[in-house]
Structure 1
């Protein structure tokens, strides 16, 4: 029973600390843009890498059925 003398104030203190952290996050704008991260993951900011000259030669050979060395 004497443990409750310590546990109740500790639990109340942790609850108050959690409430203060939540209030700080609201005030600092942590919850302003809830959909932004979901939309950013879908946006592709990277530019495609242009194919190298070797890949262009291979693609041309595949397209017309003639290899680059046999031309």
Structure 2
């Protein structure tokens, strides 16, 4: 289940990033950051379940930072 969710989130992030890069439209960046934060959170949970706690905790901290950037970008625009 986590693997499917990770793949779906990464495809969503790649699609939004590709669209923004090709079209020059940067209005979707906050949503891309949200999905990226969710992807890192899912990756962190999967790493902790596989008993790689150090990498899992690092991914969760990265997720928290990306969610912070998402909220900062969303509230300032």
- Whether TM-score is above 0.5 comes out as no
Higher relative contact order (CA 8 A, sep 6+): 2
Query: Which one has the bigger helix percentage?
Result: 2
Q: TM-score, normalised by structure 2?
A: 0.34
| Structure 1 length-normalised TM | 0.37
The structure having more radius of gyration, on CA atoms, is 1
